[in-house]
Amino acid sequence: MNQAMDKAKPTAVALEDATVAFRLADARVYTAVERARLAVAHGEFVAIVGPTGCGKSTLLNVAAGLLKPAAGAVTIFDQPLAGLNRDAGYLFQADALFPWKTAIDNVAIGLEIKGTPRQKALEQAQAWLTSVGLGAFANRYPHMLSGGQRKRVGLAQVLIRDPKILLMDEPFGPLDAQTRQVMGNLLLELWTADRKAVLFVTHDLEEAIALADRVVIMSAGPSSRIIGDWRVELPRPRDIFEVRLDKQFHELHREIWGVLKEEVMKGYAQSTQAGGTN
């Protein structure tokens, strides 16, 4: 790919001084995120890391169009975002599958609502289930699947629509450490196939460095800001198990952790304080 084309490559998601505020029950205004500036290029994998309650998910919801910023602008492929972000697929932290649909129906639904004939949608859904390693579980209901399997179905459900942007809100948060790594590798494998723009929220710095092209750090809330932006130059394709042993990985981790640690302690102090006054 030559330089000119690279320049022409559009920005998939751009937040320009986006501020998000909520009105609390007692009419005070709580500013969750303040003047966030962030651009994700087409095909770029960006991870957002920050202490608990710093508004990472809020930022993601803004990019998804589920939340409207109080000030600032959101543009998707250089178009201002109005309403829901139709170019984005969203993988939620909590269980978001339809419990009354089988795994295959959960995956097929994304195509069916676009008007794809059911038979064709089911065929494609089966193919996607196979590629996330659940080909044999098509007729299981979500409650019959493990947490990791449900996440795989969720991934297939989002990817079958072939969104240009992938938004992920601590998608592997509820899983155990080994399953998370397996899921991370699966995600990288699927992502490498067609390089969507990814905005990946996590509280796990190691996960962020292992997966992403860029790691963005947010300060402790309220009024969190983006306080750091690191490029991860580790070569691809990566293996999450291997990459953690890399010297470059350790240097980057130490560098970012130096900044993040302070925010984590601040966030922790605030949460205990809040607990004391409540």
Partner 1 sequence: MSRAALLLCQVLVAVVVLALWQVFTTVPLFGRILLPPFFFSNPIDVFSQIINWFASGVIWKHLAITLWESILAFVIGSALGILVGFWFARQPRVAAVFDPYVKMTNALPRVVLAPIFALWFGLGIWSKVALGVTLVFFIVFFNVYQGVKEVSTTVLDNGRMLGMSERQLMRHVYWPSALSWMFSSLHTSVGFAVVGAVVGEYLGAAAGLGYLIQQAEGVFDVAGVFAGMFVLSAFVILIDMAVTVVERRLLVWRPAAAREA
Is 244 near partner 1 (CB under 8 A)?
no
Q: 271: part of which helix (H) or strand (E)?
A: helix 247-277
Q: Burial of 156 by CB count in 10 Å (0-12 exposed, 13-18 middle, 19+ buried)?
A: buried
Applying CB under 8 A, among 5, 24, 26, 99 the residue interacting with partner 1 is 99
User: What number of other Cβ atoms are within 10 A of residue 106's Cβ?
Assistant: 25
Shorter beta-carbon distance to partner 1: residue 166 or 232? 166
Instruction: Please report whether residue 66 would count as binding partner 1 according to CB under 8 A.
Output: yes
* Distance of closest approach, residue 250 Cβ to partner 1, in angstroms: 36
Residue 123 beta carbon to partner 1: minimum distance, rounded to whole angstroms = 19
102 versus 126: smaller Cβ distance to partner 1: 102
Using the minimum distance from each CB to partner 1, give the nearer residue, 98 or 241: 98
Closer to partner 1 by Cβ: residue 61 or 131: 61
Interaction pattern, residues 140-169, with partner 1; x per rule: CB under 8 A: -xxx-------------xx--x--------
Q: How far is the CB of 144 from partner 1 (least distance, A)?
A: 8
Give the Cα separation of 139 and 165 in Å (integer). 29
Going by C-alpha positions, the residue among 167, 109, 177, 188 that lies closest to residue 142 is 109
Strands 11-23 and 71-76: antiparallel
Residue from 98, 120, 273, 274 touching partner 1 (CB under 8 A): that is 98
Residues 67-96 that bind partner 1 (CB under 8 A): 84-86, 88-90, 92, 94-96
Q: Which residues contact 61 (CB under 8 A, 6 or more apart)?
A: 67
* Burial class for 244, CB neighbours closer than 10 Å (0-12, 13-18, 19+): middle
**Residue 115 touching partner 1 (CB under 8 A):** no
- Locate tokens 């969750």: which residue? 32
